[in-house]
Structure 1
Amino acid sequence: MPDLKSMPIDAHTQVVGVLGYPVRHSLSPTMHNAAFEALGLNWVYLAFEVPPERLAEAIAGMRALGIRGLNLTIPHKEAACSLVDRLTAQAEAIGAVNTLFWDGDTLVGDNTDAEGFLRSLLEAGVEPKGQRVLVLGAGGSARAIVYALRQRGASVWLANRNLQRAEQLAQRYDAEGVLPLDAAALAPQLTRFDGVVNCTPLGMHPNEETMPPLPIANLPAHAWVCDLVYRPLETRLLREAHAHGLKTVSGLGMLLWQGALAFERWTGTSAPVAVMARALLEKLA
């Protein structure tokens, strides 16, 4: 991340940021401030730790202070939907917001997670159209992933410990079916899938040796595995998939592309994606 003292912080500096709880671990300031510096923009990106009961106050503060844009992360993505003036079609369909931007005097809630995820797959050489994809988890992240895959023309199954929650998500997006997130139950089913996306936090730092109960060896040789966890860059799930000769996609690409899309919403300028990617990799090294 560039040294903020070297950036032109003055009375004209435009402020954007991320609201979350917790949020101190966020890599978004790193990639966005690197992008602003690279383009010579007098902007700064900050992290704001906001508990759920103060989200409405925080967004009111955005309006009052003239903050140019915000990202929203856990646990605010769903609650923010009712606190904006308008939702984009994607945000409405997903039922979650990760980006706030201004359209004149109108505060718009958008969701760049779905498009960011899809771009990360395509950049990695994975085209999910017409494929059978198993999504692990049925939480907030899974909503955007299932939406993106269905929009692209993939057939989607969900695996989750809470089957009722998975059923609700499957019905919302017309997914094919629901399976228990259990190794014994999944083992005989995996041969039919072309891809797997992990939307659970299993494997995330500091619990790097955990992974979803997925019998990797049962996946077909052409299958790909994507893990939305990006800390560490290569999770245990991805290591095991790689060891079995499967194509792997890390979660860093989705983080990068959802951020690049938000950057463009705020600034009206193409994001310097290579600069942002380099900043993220340096931070994670």
Structure 2
Amino acid sequence: MPSCPSPDFSHLDRVGYLFGYPIGHSFSPSIHRAVYETLGLNWAQLPLPSTDMEHFLELIKHPQFYGASVTMPHKVAIFEHLDELTPQGRDVGACNTIFLREEAGRRIYCGTNTDVNGVLEAFHRNVSSPTATLHNRPGMVIGGGGAARSAVYVLKKFMRCPVVYLVNRDAAEVEAVMSWCTQQNYGDGLRYVSTVAEAEQLEAPGAVVACIPNLPPATPAELEVRKIIEAFLAKDTKGALLEMCYHPSPHTEIGALAEKQGWQVILGTEALIWQGVEQDRYWTGREVGKEGVERVKAVVAKLLAGEGPHL
């Protein structure tokens, strides 16, 4: 069970953590460093590559602690250790952000999910007329994990998609997503699309979110999923596809297929940036602003080019 020693943060005014394992590929500490430099804060997010929950729970009691990014495998396990969840965190069923508030001199540990903000802002800040071109049309989510739930939440709650197609190699994973979303009252209109023939008969989606690794299909189920995706992308009416995968590159096979068919492709780094900016709004109580966002984008571009460490 990986753990790590307590980090030294005596040189900092406030400290946060990136808690998960593995996290060696994460851009998160670099993104937040850029924000704090812009805001003039002597803060830092420190990597905590660990599965040791008890150690983490001790670290966050420190007076200098301001909040944490929580990633796999802790996004659900952290729930029982929090005092409060935002409606967004509760409905998605995963916490990627811990922030603090004070009540009667007591520190309250709160959880939320800013992946939702990342997906929503990625579409709204990159599509010229999202309300006209994406809202109130079918949506589509490729995948069946926690990111898929966040994507469904955005498509149903904010983009008002009457139907959301779910495309995934594993029917049981899709059933789990549909069951969860139904329990949280945003499961109406979810439809598992399991064959090419079915896809060919359906209306074209407007917004598509791809939440699977960038690997070539190998098994029969994976090959069928790829054919279903191609059938949707080939329809006459186009839209925008957000590719959530960004490591080791945001340029993926599915993105290339969509671009070839005339779709607007939004890179996963866009969702990464906007979920991080939303985290810093929770932690600092301040808006990051245009300068901060531009600095974050420059940092991400350098990291993608292999210039500098991720952590």
TM tier, smaller: 0.7 to 0.9
**Pair 1:227-2:243 in alignment:** yes
Compare relative contact order (CA 8 Å, sep 6+) and give the higher one, 1 or 2.
2
**Post-superposition offset of 1:68:** 1.1
**Pair 1:147-2:167 in alignment:** no
Which range is displaced more, 192-201 or 102-111? 192-201
Residues 132/101 of structure 1: CA separation in 2 closer, same or farther (3 Å cut): same
Question: What is the distance in 1 between the residues matched to 2:41 and 2:122?
Answer: 26
Q: In angstroms, what is the RMSD of aligned CA positions?
A: 2.3
Q: TM-score, normalization: structure 1?
A: 0.86
Question: What is the distance in 2 between the residues matched to 1:95 and 1:151?
Answer: 15
Residue of 104, 109, 112 corresponding to 2:111: 109
CA contact (8 A) 2:165 2:193 kept: no
Question: What is the distance in 2 between the residues matched to 1:94 and 1:88?
Answer: 10
1:109 counterpart SS class: strand
Question: What is the distance in 2 between the residues matched to 1:72 and 1:219?
Answer: 38
- Note the alpha carbon deviations across 1:149-175, whole angstroms, 9 max, x for none: 111111312112222331232242314
CA contact (8 A) 1:190 1:218 kept: no
Question: What is the distance in 2 between the residues matched to 1:103 and 1:80?
Answer: 17
Tell me the equivalent position of 2:3: none
**Post-superposition offset of 1:187:** 4.8
**Post-superposition offset of 1:180:** 4.9
What is the number of equivalent residue pairs in this alignment? Answer: 269
**Pair 1:199-2:211 in alignment:** yes
Tell me the equivalent position of 2:44: 44
CA contact (8 A) 1:199 1:228 kept: yes
- Note the alpha carbon deviations across 1:171-206, whole angstroms, 9 max, x for none: 423142433566x456525653223211112349xx
Question: What is the distance in 2 between the residues matched to 1:280 and 1:39?
Answer: 18
Which range is displaced more, 273-282 or 186-195? 186-195
Residue of 235, 251, 258 corresponding to 2:268: 251
CA contact (8 A) 1:70 1:99 kept: yes
Residues 148/195 of structure 1: CA separation in 2 closer, same or farther (3 Å cut): closer
1:23 counterpart SS class: coil
Residues 189/27 of structure 1: CA separation in 2 closer, same or farther (3 Å cut): farther
Which residue identity does 1:83 align to in structure 2?
Answer: H
Question: What is the distance in 2 between the residues matched to 1:111 and 1:34?
Answer: 21
CA contact (8 A) 1:26 1:47 kept: no
Which range is displaced more, 195-204 or 92-101? 195-204
**Post-superposition offset of 1:221:** 3.8
CA contact (8 A) 1:14 1:67 kept: yes
Which range is displaced more, 241-250 or 184-193? 184-193
Question: What is the distance in 2 between the residues matched to 1:252 and 1:240?
Answer: 19
Residues 203/38 of structure 1: CA separation in 2 closer, same or farther (3 Å cut): farther
Structure 2 matches for 1:4-83, cutoff 5 A? Answer: 10-51=10-51, 54-64=52-62, 66-83=64-81
CA contact (8 A) 1:133 1:193 kept: yes
CA contact (8 A) 1:227 1:251 kept: yes
Tell me the equivalent position of 1:264: 281
1:269 counterpart SS class: coil
1:263 counterpart SS class: helix
Question: What is the distance in 2 between the residues matched to 1:283 and 1:24?
Answer: 13
Question: What is the distance in 2 between the residues matched to 1:284 and 1:203?
Answer: 19
Residues 55/175 of structure 1: CA separation in 2 closer, same or farther (3 Å cut): farther
Question: What is the distance in 2 between the residues matched to 1:219 and 1:60?
Answer: 53
Q: Which runs of 5+ in 2 are unaligned?
A: 1-8, 217-221, 306-311
1:261 counterpart SS class: helix
**Pair 1:165-2:169 in alignment:** no
Tell me the equivalent position of 1:135: 141
Which range is displaced more, 14-23 or 55-64? 55-64
CA contact (8 A) 1:193 1:220 kept: no
Which range is displaced more, 232-241 or 16-25? 232-241
Percent identical residues = 28
